[in-house]
Amino acid sequence: MNNHINKQAILIDEYDYSLPDERIAKFPLPRRDASKLLVYKNDTIIESAFSNIADFLPEKCLLVYNNTRVIQARLVFHKETGARIEVFCLEPLTPADYAQSLGSTTECVWKCMVGNLKKWKDGLLSKQIEIEGTNCIFNAEFIETKRNMHSIRFTWNNADVHFADILEKTGELPIPPYLHRKTEESDLTTYQTVYSKIKGSVAAPTAGLHFTPEVFESLKSKNIEIEELTLHVGAGTFQPIKTKTINDHHMHTEVISVHKSTIEHLLQKVGNIIAVGTTSVRALESLYYIGLKLHKNPSTYDFHISQWTPYEISDEIPVEKALQNILDYLNANNLTTLHAETQIMIKPGYQFRLVNGMITNFHQPKSTLLLLVSAFVGGGWKKIYDYALKNDFRFLSYGDSSLLMP
Q: Could you tell me the residue ranges of all domains in the chain?
A: 3-69+189-405, 73-172
The span from the CA of 352 to the CA of 378, in Å, is 11
> Which candidate, 323, 327, 198, places its Cα nearest to that of 260?
327
* Four-residue CA torsion sign, 53, 228, 351, 360: positive
Backbone angles phi, psi at 237, to 5 degrees: -65, -25
The span from the CA of 189 to the CA of 277, in Å, is 19
The span from the CA of 68 to the CA of 371, in Å, is 23
Amino acid in position 50: F
- Say yes or no: do domains 3-69+189-405 and 73-172 share a fold: no
Is the Cβ–Cβ distance between 355 and 285 less than 8 Å?
yes
**Tens-digit pLDDT profile for residues 58-69:** 999 999 999 999
Res 4: pLDDT = 43
Res 182: pLDDT = 92
Start-to-end CA span in the chain (Å): 17
146: Cβ contacts below 8 Å, ≥ 6 apart: none
Helix/strand/coil for 11: strand
245: Cβ contacts below 8 Å, ≥ 6 apart: 9, 10, 11, 12
Is the Cβ–Cβ distance between 143 and 112 less than 8 Å?
no
Res 238: pLDDT = 65
DSSP codes of every residue in 40-92: EETTEEEEEEGGGGGGGSPTT-EEEEE-EEE---EEEEE-TT--EEEEEEEEE
Res 247: pLDDT = 86
**Tens-digit pLDDT profile for residues 169-194:** 999 999 998 999 999 999 999 999 99
Q: Domain 3-69+189-405 belongs to what architecture?
A: 3-Layer(aba) Sandwich (3.40)
pLDDT by residue for the chain (406 residues), tens only, comes to 344 444 567 899 999 999 999 999 999 999 999 999 999 999 999 999 999 999 999 999 999 999 999 999 999 999 888 899 999 999 999 999 999 999 999 999 999 999 988 888 778 999 999 988 888 999 999 999 987 789 999 999 999 999 999 999 999 999 998 999 999 999 999 999 999 999 999 999 999 999 999 999 999 999 999 999 999 998 776 677 888 888 888 888 899 999 999 999 999 999 999 999 999 999 999 999 999 999 999 999 899 999 999 999 888 999 999 999 999 999 999 999 999 999 999 999 999 999 999 999 999 999 999 999 999 999 899 999 999 999 999 999 999 999 999 8
Res 242: pLDDT = 84
Res 249: pLDDT = 87
The span from the CA of 171 to the CA of 162, in Å, is 13
> Which candidate, 386, 369, 396, places its Cα nearest to that of 22?
396
**Tens-digit pLDDT profile for residues 223-250:** 999 999 999 998 776 677 888 888 888 8
53: Cβ contacts below 8 Å, ≥ 6 apart: 37, 210, 215, 218, 219, 359, 401, 403
Measuring CA to CA, how many Å separate 290 from each of 294, 310, 315, 344? 6, 11, 13, 11
CATH number, span 73-172: 2.40.10
9: Cβ contacts below 8 Å, ≥ 6 apart: 245, 246, 247
Is the Cβ–Cβ distance between 53 and 217 less than 8 Å?
no
Establish whether the linkage from the previous residue to 318 is cis, with ω within 30° of 0: no
